[in-house]
Amino acid sequence: MTPCILSLTEEELTAELALLGHKAYRARQIREWVWRRRARSFDAMTDLPPLLRKALGARFTLRPSEVVELAGSGGGTRKFLSRMEDGSLVESVLIPAAEGKGGMRAERLTLCVSSQVGCAFGCKFCASGLQGLERNLSAGEILGQIVTAEDIAGARIDNIVFMGMGEPLANFDNLRQALEIILSSGALNIGARHITVSTSGNVPGLKRLTDYGRPIRLAVSLHGVTDAVRSRIMPVNRRWPLGKLIPALKDWCAASSHKITLEYILIEGINDTLGEAELLAGIARDLRAKVNLIPYNTVDSLPWKRPSEKQCRSFCRLLVSRRIPVTLRYEKGHDINAACGQLRLRKLKE
Ligand code: SAH
Ligand code: SF4
Helices (H) and strands (E) in the chain, counts: 12, 12
Ligand that lies nearest to the alpha carbon of residue 125, given by its number in the listed order: 1
Q: Which residues on adjacent β-strands are paired with residue 265?
A: 294
Measured from CB, residues less than 6 Å from any atom of ligand 2 are 119, 121-123, 126, 128-129, 165-167, 200, 221, 340
Give the global pTM. Answer: 0.94
Q: What is the pLDDT along the chain (350 residues), one digit of tens a residue?
A: 899 999 999 999 999 999 989 999 999 999 999 999 999 999 999 999 999 999 999 999 999 999 999 988 767 889 999 999 999 999 999 988 766 555 555 678 999 999 999 999 999 999 888 889 999 999 999 999 999 999 999 999 999 999 999 999 999 999 999 999 999 999 999 999 999 999 999 999 999 999 999 999 999 999 999 999 999 999 999 999 999 999 999 999 999 999 999 999 999 999 999 999 999 999 999 999 999 999 998 888 899 999 999 999 999 999 999 999 999 976 554 444 444 555 555 555 55
> Is the CB–ligand 1 distance for residue 126 below 6 Å?
yes
The catalytic position among 16, 91, 141, 276 is 91
The residue type at 182:
I
Q: How far is CA 131 from CA 117, 165, 175, 314, in A?
A: 10, 12, 22, 35
